[in-house]
Structure 1
Amino acid sequence: MLEHAITRRKGELEHYNAPLTMDPAELDAFWSDVLQAYAAKPLDVRRERAESPFASVTVERLTYLGYDETPIHGWFMVPELQGHAESAAGAAHPLPCIVTFPGYTDDRGYPERYASWLLQGYAVLAVDVRGQGGETGNYMPLRADAVKGWVSGNVLEPEGSYYHALTLDAIRAVDAAAAQPETDAARLAVVGASQGGGLALICGALNPSVTAVIADIPNMCHMDYGVLHSASSLTELAQHLKRYPDRLEAVLRTLAHYDMLNLATRIQSPVLLSACWKDSVCLPETIYAVYNRITADKMLLDYPFNGHEVSESQQRERILFLNQHFRQYPSK
């Protein structure tokens, strides 16, 4: 069989193995302590009915307490399917639920953004990311020199960094979704692209309530490589290091706690990823470095001619993946 440039590139990515950047035992101990400390903290979930152009969907503003008790805002949407859901107060038959996270600088948007999931009969919790484009603020104090953007906030402190707050907010979003009476906790997926894809992956690694992961062109993968090469939010850290070159090891150590390269083997649920080979933001090498370490059921779809985007083709693959998964693992 003749080999061409595309098959050679595919082979290179499939065999791309980056070394871990943190001792696994130390990382496990860190997250064990963090998750145990937050397990008892109340979510204080609040829901308020919202207007919607969808006559057959109940839309509510849902708020829960994230890291440091910052209120995280989202939409909780339940399709009013005949014979399935009764009302926002409770469901006759709980529905599969997806939790979605936005890309960097974006927010949860309008409820209409989630029409394709609602048409499948899924409940949806779509959340903001603190301090970025939505209604959610950020109570975390800034204690060290940060550059323009968010991710360099307190980057010298693994347990006080913006990445720490971001991750715990996402983990608690899954907890908030699982606690809703309309949600079938046995069918709870996390979905996102770019930053949202990274958050979906880290939730799959750290929150056992997750039963499926869709992470398109995810960030938070092989982050040391990304700081050096990527045009993503990690350029903010490169700018920080340009100003403070003596902080390189400290910055990379913080990132290692949130790098899916080091957390990949903790994922237990099925995973769908995508990688775009012309993507200068979330580079395919970073995604494959994580994919090649995942030991759970997994699938990665390549788009050799795409940039930083989720194509219509991939949108359909997302739907097919969850339809198959939710049928394979029905409500208990």
Structure 2
Amino acid sequence: MTNAIEARIQDLERYNPSQTAEADLDEFWARTLDEYAGRPLNGRREAVGTPMSGMNVYLTTYEGADDTPLHAWYLTPKTEAGQDAKFPCIVHYHGYTGSKGMPEHFAHYILMGFAVLSVDVRGQGGDTGNRLEQNYGAVRGWLTPGILDAETAYYRAITVDAIRAAEWAAAQPETDQDRVLVIGGSQGGGLAMIVAALSSVPKASVAHIPNMCHMDFGILNSNSSLSEAADFVSRHPEHLGAVLKTLSYFDNLNLAPRIKIPIMVSCGLKDPCCMPETVYAAYNRIASEKEMQVYPFDGHWVSDGQNRKAMEFLARHAGLRF
């Protein structure tokens, strides 16, 4: 006998909507990645104080998709004088409207033996602005500027920013470049997944309740940031096709088959924002080592228990003992 919860999960595990990829998806990303290959990050870092005596804190900036200075914290465990240590490094992407946070928020990773790079997403709630050009009107929020073309889309900029964040983390002298891992929740989970698909830098990924998945379904049904795209199309219905086409280039539904590294994904069955159909649509297309943590009664949040599982997953793939 199968109960309703088990039946719901089984249905999601079989969920296989059609991909929405344009014929030039691979060409688009090959061209985009080639454009940034070898481009200087123009990064800087400055040591700052913290009440946490066991960590070194650096306020850093680097450049991503344009010359916008992208702000981040780079944190390392404090070592003995003269000790030249190399640490596995976690790159953290925050949720929509958030920021890189405070250094002390990542003390648990420092205690585990990780370095951390926590980055601002451009234009949102942190210290980072946004110098993207905009040649058409937009609606509230950050999603819709440039949404009529993949080349000008906000998603293109933040994806490139996120990829280059992993490269900036790997370039730090304290980072073991062979042990860079990425993590995020919601918007950050979507970025952790798309970076896993497009970059050779990360060795493992954790995508908590990821956005940027099955976005044709999301724009129709979810209350996520994709509601901004829905609002835009409501005002400009003649642009529905262009909007859906643009979103398809950044949809993990289409990019998930490119993931080759271990990945942990989480999902709440009561999540109205990153809905389970969207998460499973992308997850089911991942062919690499993967694990799903599904929570039947959770909404759009990440529980302490799931955070603990993520810590164990990251430690295992970084070769740390726990």
Q: Same-fold call, TM > 0.5?
A: yes
Q: 1:305 aligns with which of 294, 297, 307?
A: 297
Q: Is the 8 A contact 1:96 1:184 kept in 2?
A: yes
Residue in structure 1 matched with residue 50 of structure 2 by the alignment: 52
* Alpha-carbon distance in structure 2 between the residues aligned to 1:322 and 1:97: 10
Q: How does 1:101-116 map to 2 (within 5 A)?
A: 101-116=93-108
Report Cα offsets for 1:62-92 as digits up to 9, x if no partner: 100111111100000001145xxx57xxx62
For residue 41 of structure 2, give the secondary structure of its aligned residue in structure 1.
coil
Q: How does 1:89-168 map to 2 (within 5 A)?
A: 92-168=84-160
For residue 97 of structure 2, give the secondary structure of its aligned residue in structure 1.
coil
Q: How does 1:224-235 map to 2 (within 5 A)?
A: 224-235=216-227
Residue type at the aligned position of 2:182:
V
Q: How does 1:1-332 map to 2 (within 5 A)?
A: 2-23=1-22, 26-81=24-79, 92-327=84-319
* Alpha-carbon distance in structure 1 between the residues aligned to 2:85 and 2:38: 28
For residue 78 of structure 1, give the secondary structure of its aligned residue in structure 2.
strand
Q: Is the 8 A contact 2:72 2:119 kept in 1?
A: yes
Q: Is the 8 A contact 1:103 1:195 kept in 2?
A: yes
Q: Is the 8 A contact 1:98 1:123 kept in 2?
A: yes
Q: Is the 8 A contact 2:197 2:260 kept in 1?
A: yes
**TM-score normalised to the size of structure 1?**
0.94
Q: Is the 8 A contact 2:21 2:249 kept in 1?
A: yes
* Alpha-carbon distance in structure 2 between the residues aligned to 1:31 and 1:12: 32
Alignment RMSD (CA, Å): 1.3
* Alpha-carbon distance in structure 2 between the residues aligned to 1:18 and 1:289: 7
* Alpha-carbon distance in structure 2 between the residues aligned to 1:11 and 1:22: 26
Q: How many Å apart are 1:93 and its aligned residue? A: 2.8
Q: How many Å apart are 1:267 and its aligned residue? A: 0.8
Q: Is the 8 A contact 1:81 1:121 kept in 2?
A: no
* Alpha-carbon distance in structure 1 between the residues aligned to 2:55 and 2:85: 16
For residue 67 of structure 1, give the secondary structure of its aligned residue in structure 2.
coil
Q: How many Å apart are 1:46 and its aligned residue? A: 0.2
Aligned length: 321
Q: Is the 8 A contact 2:46 2:59 kept in 1?
A: yes
Segment drifting more, 115-124 vs 231-240: 115-124
Q: Displaced runs of 4+ in structure 1, greater than 2 A?
A: none
**TM-score normalised to the size of structure 2?**
0.97
Change (3 A) 1:81 1:304: farther
Report Cα offsets for 1:201-221 as digits up to 9, x if no partner: 111111101100000000000
For residue 262 of structure 1, give the secondary structure of its aligned residue in structure 2.
helix
Q: How many Å apart are 1:45 and its aligned residue? A: 1.0
